Amino acid sequence: MSDLTSAGTAIGGAPVGAEGPVPDAPATGGKERSASLWADARRQLVRDPVFMLAFVYVLVVGSMAAFPTLWTSQDPRNCSTDRSRLAPSGDHPFGFNILGCDYYSHAIYGARPSIVIAIMATGAIVVVGGALGLLAGYYGGWVDTIISRLMDIFFSLPFLLGAIVFLTVIKRQNILTIALVLFLLSWPTIARIIRGSVISSKDLDYVHAAKAVGASNGRIMWRHILPNAIAPMLVYATIVLGAFVAAEATLTFLGVGLQPPEESWGIMISDHQVYFLEDPWLLLFPCGLLVGTVLSFILMGDALRDALDPKFR
Amino acid sequence: MGRYVIRRLLQFIPTVLGTMFLLHYMTSLAIQFSGNPVRALFGDRTPPPALLEAVTERLGYADPCLDQRGNPCFGLFFDRVADVFLRFDFGINLRQREVTELVADAIPFTLKLLVIAMVFEAVVGIAAGVWAGLRGGSFADNLVKISTVFVISVPIFVLGVVVREFVGVKFGNVLRDQAWIPEVISNGMFSPGFKPDYPFASLIIPGMVLGAVSLATTARLTRTSIMENIRADYVRTARAKGLANKRVIGVHTLRNSLIPVITFLGVDIGAAMAGAVVTETIFNVPGIGRLVTLSARTGESSVVIGVVTMLVLVVLVANLLVDILYAVLDPRIRYE
Amino acid sequence: MSTDVNVKLDALPGLDPNAMPLQVKDLHVEFRTRNGIAHAVNGVSFDLRPGETRAILGESGCGKSVTAQAIMGILDSPPGFITGGEILYRGVDLLKLPEAQRRKVRANRIAMIFQDALSALNPVFTVGFQLGELFRKHRGMSRKDGKARAVELLDLVKIPAAKQRVNDYPHQFSGGMRQRVMIAMALALDPEVLIADEPTTALDVTVQAQIMSLLAELQRERNMSLVLITHDMGVVADVADRISVMYAGRVIEEAPVDDIYASPAHPYTKGLLESIPRLDLKGQELSAIKGLPPALTNIPKGCAFNPRCRYAQDVCRQDPAPPLYQVSPVRTAACHFWKEVKGDV
């Protein structure tokens, strides 16, 4: 994933707009509307086979990351070079890697770093990016100018190049530093999404009404403006989880991410790329797991967007 | 229009300085916290102190502020800005070669790669997007919609490795067994990596890999944009004017639909440059991207920073040009 | 005006110069949406004499704009489909014409003005380009001649400094001026029939009056027939000759304008008239029609208006819908109780 921001924004596949001259349903109050929006979205998602399939896949990968022993009793570090690159068999469904370690347990344990990094980095961009976007959009003026310029600066650093620079100079490439770098380079996107959403909902009548009855800024932001921004944030966060999983693997592949003997899908791909012709499964298993995870997150984000955007119904 | 350009230029300057400062501060922090980067160059060996000092001095890591954790080292930063803008000096590598020189050697390959990637993604991406967008809900539409999600989900390095092994090695071997196939195809185009003998042909497949992800994004963006615009009131007006369908689509719909696409392609030049890091590493292209990865692996952070600073400047200039292009394409922006 | 294209158009099969400029017969349009089929137009008929102004009146969503789009042949399809009826231009059924010929009817013979000129004009081309395009594509003029004609047109619709403004983009004009550009575009090729879809809805009241009088003036000069689509009873009273009132995709009353204002024969028309604020009735409560128009995916059985009608009886709730009763030699109304409605005033 060389370009996170574009991946997020351009995935919107609008279904064909069937706009008959059907009169709109009578509008109801803001609160009820948002409550029914979430209920409708949930109903639609549960019925969407693509979403459910992706969701199940993510659950499986998540459980691999959280409880690897649930999936395998083998020790991925129990290696012996005389089993190097043995083909898959009943007991060892993914065979053995170049060092003669059980490849299946490797793949199971390899899920954890990717998922942990993705969750940490996503959590951080949601909190920090969300807060900065909220402040910039709500207060405007010089607060907005400063935050927006800051966003411009981080934006102008191409994601992969920035990550390589930081990870090269940091030299301690572990889960924490990789998550930190991903967060640093990605928060502006979510800040920009929230900022736009806040600016558009700031002028809604019920926000003016809340101001008129003397609600505090904090209360207005928390109760009236933030709920409107949650839907786009949720969609983006889902997609970005997938993008981060891919980014971690890419950095690892380039040699600036996780280092062996750590287990990770990126390392598995990078270590075995040259054996593709003789033993393609060494490459295909980790690639399949990785692509499946990224794809699942993207499909979930897509389905979420369609479900949360009344325009697409 | 003139005023718009001037305003964008004024915004451009603090962004450039800010980005350079960001790079500078991150590296300073890293040095302050993890110690002299020069030491790492010697691996496990302990270098003679005199040599270590000499190298440190030469690479500009001798400044005492680099020993104080959290110090932003403004003095170093101003030196660096002056070096870059007044002397066009982006630093040197360990063998005392100028980074500008290293880049000059590498850039022709990267440029060729970029051109192939951009042409590929623009032509195929827009064509696929228009094809799908005009037939919303049809087989063509679904095909484009689904295949692009798949392409977007495949990390570029996975795609690169699989294509190199499958197309370059496996399929290439089949071709190389056939005597009647010209060398330039079997050995050039379908080679598993860059070949100096075929400086263009052997870059075609790497370029396509580089453009693949953005191609999918371009196709999706074009598709959505066309679908939005095809229902616009002004397209209806164009039909009501009795214009031929070709003109309604080709002039009145496309002109508007392609504005966001062209903007994306412009911004994507920067992303493609970053993507070249991966593609060039996989296909062994001696371009800027591989220069960055090799330097990163050997820990030559001065080269990495120098090259990235240069690339960031290129990206920023490209973004500026895109903004101006956007104003040229959409008169509503111009008169804001 | 140039006649070369007119010559070609006279070759339309079955063209009868003495037939009416426009006749719509039993037009049916439906929209096939995910939520079911929306019956937007269910048997609309009307005709238009040379120089006449026909108003089509109704609330939003009653099918009046869809009717206009069907006449122009610019319905979005899918989801819109014409499922029955005829649209005759001087005796030629436009629905049976091949697209290439149909296209030449547009703008040359039947032209249209849209409601919101800002979105109806292409934002990325100058108005000069968009006007000149008509002359270049339909009359084979050069770019330069097309532009010269565009300036003339802007003069015609009284846009000041036409020579300079021809190079401006739509968003640089004010709302009223933009609507004048729209009118200029519609009149460019000297059409016989002009369809104006809510031409003044998006404008200020004072500007509305200017635009309507400009339209009326140009119509008189050129002896053009005008189909005026609106929901504004006030606009209708000033300029229309005859009115078709539409409700849920049907014409429910059709009459000369004075007759309708004097004595509406359909409860819906009556309700519309009573909901206009009147100075002479100041102080009295304004009456409004109760309820909402039906969803076109689910039109009530019998008379579509029956759930909102104070005259409704059992017969109104059963299929078939009331036929058009001949109220007088020149007017019809689709209400079983038109006599009561009319006499009730």
CATH number at residue C233: 3.40.50.300
Residue holding tokens 């005859």?
A: C242
Q: Which of C180, C215, C240 is the last residue of a domain?
A: C240
Average pLDDT over residues B280-292: 88
Confidence band for C278, pLDDT divided at 50, 70 and 90: low
Peptide bond connecting C320 to the previous residue in cis, omega within 30 degrees of 0: yes
Q: State whether B58 and B18 are in the same domain.
A: yes
pLDDT for the residue numbered A56: 92
Burial group, residue C101, by CB count within 10 angstroms (0-12, 13-18, 19+) = middle
Residue C256 has pLDDT above 70, yes or no: yes
Q: How far apart are CA A1 and CA B309, in angstroms?
A: 21
What tens digit of pLDDT does each residue of A182-225 get? 998 899 988 988 888 888 877 777 777 777 777 788 787 777 77
Q: What is the pLDDT of residues A40-91, one digit of tens each?
A: 778 888 888 888 888 999 998 888 888 877 777 777 677 766 666 666 776 6
Paired residues of A67 in beta bridges? none
C187 and C294 assigned to the same domain:
no
Query: Order of strands across the sheet with C242-247?
Result: C110-113, C193-197, C225-230, C53-57, C242-247, C250-256, C331-333, C325-328
User: The tokens of C166 are what?
Assistant: 């021809």
Q: Which of B116, B111, B216, B213 is nearest to B159 (CA)?
A: B213
As for how many domains chain C has, the answer is 2
* C3 assigned to some structural domain: no
Instruction: Answer yes or no: is C48 within a domain.
Output: yes
What confidence tens digit (pLDDT) does each residue in C229-246 have?
988 887 788 788 899 999
A-facing residues of B in 309-328 (CB < 8 A) are: 311-312, 315-316, 319
Look at B332 and C171 and tell me if their CB atoms are within 8 Å: yes
pLDDT of A28:
39
Mean of the pLDDT values across residues A118-142?
A: 90
CATH of the domain at B168: 1.10.3720.10
The mean per-residue pLDDT over the stretch C30-39 comes to 82
Between the ranges B43-47, B171-175, B186-190, C165-169, where is the mean pLDDT highest?
C165-169
Q: Does C13 reside within a domain?
A: no
- Least confident residue range of A82-91, A287-296, B180-189, C57-66: A82-91
pLDDT-wise least confident of B212-221, C16-25, C126-135: C16-25
User: Are C162 and C29 in the same domain?
Assistant: yes
Task: Looking at the structure, tell me whether residues C211 and C148 fall in a common domain.
Answer: yes
- Same domain, yes or no: C325 and C218: no
Which two structure tokens, joined as six digits, stand for B118?
């951009």
In a domain, C31, yes or no: yes
User: How confident is the model at residue A116, as a pLDDT?
Assistant: 92
- Are residues B135 and B10 located together in one domain of the fold? no
Query: DSSP string of chain A?
Result: ---HHHHHHTT--PPP----SPPPPPP--HHHHHHHHHHHHHHHHHH-HHHHHHHHHHHHHHHHHH-GGGT--S-TT---GGGTTPPP-SSSTT-B-TTS-BHHHHHHHHHHHHHHHHHHHHHHIIIIIHHHHHHHHHH-HHHHHHHHHHHHHHHTS-HHHHHHHHHHHH---SHHHHHHHHHHHHHHHHHHHHHHHHHHHHTSHHHHHHHHTT--HHHIIIIIIHHHHHHHHHHHHHHHHHHHHHHHHHHHHHTSS--TTS--HHHHHHHHGGGTTT-THHHHHHHHHHHHHHHHHHHHHHHHHHHH-GGG-
Q: What is the number of CB-based contacts under 8 A between chain A and chain C?
A: 44
- Chain C within 8 Å of A23 (Cβ-Cβ)? yes
Provide the token pair at C157: 């619709």
Element (H, E) at C56: strand C53-57
In a domain, B123, yes or no: yes
Closest of C205, C180, C196, C206 to residue C230, by C-alpha = C196
Whether residue C3 is predicted with pLDDT greater than 50 in this model: the reply is no
Interface contact A18, partner C, CB < 8 A? yes
Domain holding C311, by residue range, is: 255-276+289-342
Q: Which of B87, B116, B137 is the last residue of a domain?
A: B87
Instruction: Write down the pLDDT at residue C282.
Output: 61
Domain co-membership, C215 together with C266? no
Which positions ≥6 away from C110 have C-beta within 8 Å?
A: C22, C71, C72, C89, C191, C192, C193, C194, C195
Would you say residue A119 has pLDDT above 90?
yes
B326 within domain boundaries: no
Same domain (yes/no): C173, C44: yes
Together in a domain, C59 and C94:
yes
Most confident stretch, A112-121, A159-168, C268-277 = A112-121
Which of B1, B229, B237 to substitute to test the interface with C, most C CBs within 10 Å? Answer: B237
Alpha carbon B104 to its chain's center:
17
- What is the pLDDT at residue A5? 38
> Which chains have 3 or more CB–CB distances shorter than 8 Å to chain A?
B, C
Q: Does residue C269 sit in the same domain as residue C157?
A: no
CA B30 to chain centre: 25
Count of domains observed in chain B: 2
Of B15, B228, B273, the CB nearest to A153: B15
Q: How confident is the model at residue A31 (pLDDT cuts 50, 70, 90)?
A: very low
- Averaged over C203-222, what is the pLDDT? 84
DSSP H helical ranges for C196-314: 205-222, 233-239, 257-262, 267-274
- The CA distance from B249 to B226, in Å, is 9
- Whether residues C73 and C205 fall in one domain: yes
In a domain, B25, yes or no: yes
Q: Which residues of C118-266 form beta strands (DSSP E)?
A: 193-197, 225-230, 242-247, 250-256
Provide the 10 A C-beta neighbour count for residue B10: 9
Query: Does residue C142 sit within a domain?
Result: yes
The tens digit of pLDDT for each residue in B301-334 reads 778 888 888 888 888 888 888 888 888 888 877 6
Q: What is the mean pLDDT of chain B?
A: 82
- Asked whether residue C192 is assigned to any structural domain, the reply reads yes
Which residues in chain C have their CB less than 8 angstroms from residue A21's CB? 31, 38, 40, 61, 63, 65-66, 296
Q: Is the pLDDT of residue C30 over 70?
A: yes
> Are residues C123 and B330 in contact, defined by beta-carbon separation less than 8 angstroms?
yes
Q: If you search the block for the tokens 């990235």, which residue do you land on?
A: B308
Q: What is the CA radius of gyration of chain C?
A: 21
Contact assessment for residue A248 and residue B137, using Cβ atoms and an 8 Å cutoff: no
**Residue A123: pLDDT band by 50, 70, 90 thresholds?**
very high
Note whether B233 contacts C72, CB cutoff 8 Å.
no
Q: What percent of chain A has pLDDT over 90?
A: 12
Q: What is the mean pLDDT of chain A?
A: 78
Which residue in A256, A276, A298 is closest to B149 by CB distance?
A298
Q: CATH topology for A48-312?
A: MetI-like fold (1.10.3720)
What tokens appear for C70 in the block? 């069907």
Judgement on whether residues B166 and B223 belong to the same structural domain of the protein: yes
Q: What is the mean pLDDT of residues C45-55?
A: 89
Q: What pLDDT is attached to residue A8? A: 36
In a domain, B305, yes or no: no
Q: Give how far C234 is from chain B: nearest CA, Å.
A: 26
Q: Which of C110, A129, A256 is nearest to B281 (CA)?
A: A256
- If you average pLDDT over residues B56-81, what whole number do you get? 76
- How far away is chain A from the Cα of C69, in angstroms, using its nearest Cα? 13
- CA A124 to CA A14: how far, in whole Å? 30
Interface of B with A in 224-243 (CB under 8 A): 224, 227-228, 231
Nearest to A95 by CA among A272, A293, A312, A305: A272
Report pLDDT for A20. 36
For residue C131, the chain B residue with the least C-alpha distance is B241
Mark whether C110 and C135 lie in a shared domain: yes
Say if residue C286's pLDDT is above 70.
no
Q: What residue of A is the nearest CA neighbor of B19?
A: A153
Identify the three-state secondary structure at position C69.
Answer: helix
Are B155 and B279 found together in one domain?
A: yes
Over chain C, what is the mean pLDDT? 83
Classified as helix, coil or strand, B141 is helix
Helix (H) or strand (E) holding B222: helix B201-230
Domain that holds residue B272: 99-299
Are C176 and C267 in a shared domain?
Answer: no
C60/A23 touch (CB, cutoff 8 Å), yes or no: yes
* Closest residue to A156, CB basis, from B19, B153, B299: B19
Q: Is residue B166 part of a domain?
A: yes
Same-domain status, C222 and C269? no
Nearest beta carbon to residue B237 from set C108, C121, C171:
C121
